[in-house]
Chains A and B, each alone.
Chain A
Amino acid sequence: MKNIFIIASKEFRSYLSSPMAYIITAIFLVGTGFFFSFSDLTYSETSLRGFLGNPFYIPIILLLIAVLTMRLLAEERKMGTIELLLTAPVRDSEIIMGKFFGVLGVIALMLILTFYYPLILTIFGDPDIGPMISGYLGLFLLSASCLAIGLFSSSLTSNQIVAAVLAGGILLGLWYLGSASSYLPKTVGDVINYFSLSNYFPSFVTGVIDTRGIIYYISVTALFLFLAMRSLENSRWN
Chain B
Amino acid sequence: MLPVVLLAAAPRKAVRPAVRPKGWYIKMIRVENLTKYYGKRLAVNNISFHVKKGEIVGLLGPNAAGKTTTMRIITGYLTPTSGDVWIAGINMLTNSLEARRKIGYLPEIVPLYTDMTVRSYLDFLARLRGVPYNRVRSRINEVVEICHLEEYVDVLIGKLSKGYRQRVGVAQAIIHNPDVLILDEPTVGIDPIQVAGTRQLIKDLGKEHTIILSTHILPEVSAICERVIIINEGKIVAQDYIGNLSTLIAGSNRVRLEIKGPVDKVTECLRTIKGITRINYEDSHYILEYPANIDLRSKITEAIMQGGFTLLGLETVTLSLEDIFLKLTREEETR
Contact = CB atoms under 8 A, between A and B. Distances in A.
Interface in A203-238: 236-238
A86 B112 contact: no
A122 B164 CA distance: 56
A88 B129 CA distance: 6
Contacts of A30: none
A78 B79 CA distance: 20
Contact of A83 (B38, B77, B128, B130): B77
A87 interface: yes
A76 to B, nearest CB: 9
A96 B105 CA distance: 22
B115 A17 contact: yes
The CB with the most chain B CB atoms within 10 A, among A14, A18, A81, is that of A81
Contact of B100 (A14, A79, A82, A87): A87
A81 B158 CA distance: 14
B214 to A, nearest CB: 14
Interface residues of A, number: 23
A79 B76 contact: no
B129 A89 contact: yes
Contact of A6 (B97, B114, B124): B124
Interface in B33-82: 38-39, 72, 75-79
B103 A3 contact: no
Contacts of B129: 88-89
Contact of B79 (A84, A87, A237): A237
A80 to B, nearest CB: 4
Contacts of B103: 87
A66 to B, nearest CB: 21
Contacts of B114: 79
B113 interface: yes
Contacts of B322: none
A14 B113 contact: yes
Contact of B112 (A10, A81, A89): A81
Nearest to A236: B79
A18 B115 contact: yes
A104 to B, nearest CB: 19
Contacts, number: 65
The CB with the most chain B CB atoms within 10 A, among A10, A79, A84, A90, is that of A84
A7 B128 contact: yes
Contacts of A6: 124, 127-128
B116 interface: yes
Range of interface residues on B (Cβ < 8 Å): 20 to 34
B177 interface: no
Nearest to A98: B128
A88 B111 contact: no
B97 A238 contact: no
Interface in B85-131: 97-98, 100-101, 103, 105, 107, 109-116, 120, 124-125, 127-130
B111 A79 contact: yes
Interface string A1-39: 001001100100110011000000000000000000000
Given A18-B115, A88-B125, A80 B77 contact: no
B97 A89 contact: yes
Nearest to B117: A17
B100 A83 contact: no
Contact of A14 (B39, B98, B116): B116
Nearest to B97: A89
B232 interface: no
A87 B97 contact: no
B127 A81 contact: no
Nearest to B104: A87
Contacts of B112: 79, 81
Contact of B111 (A17, A80, A89): A80
B92 to A, nearest CB: 10
A42 to B, nearest CB: 39
A87 B75 contact: yes
A87 B104 CA distance: 9
A18 B116 CA distance: 10
B215 interface: no
Interface of A: 3, 6-7, 10, 13-14, 17-18, 79-84, 86-91, 236-238
15 contacts: A10-B124, A79-B112, A81-B113, A83-B75, A83-B105, A84-B128, A87-B76, A87-B105, A88-B125, A88-B128, A89-B97, A91-B97, A236-B79, A237-B79, A238-B39
Given A83-B111, A86-B76, A237-B79, 5 more contacts: A83-B105, A84-B128, A87-B76, A91-B97, A238-B39
Interface of B: 38-39, 72, 75-79, 97-98, 100-101, 103, 105, 107, 109-116, 120, 124-125, 127-130, 172
Which 9 A/B pairs are nearest by Cβ-Cβ distance? A80-B109, A81-B111, A89-B101, A80-B111, A89-B100, A89-B97, A87-B75, A83-B107, A84-B111
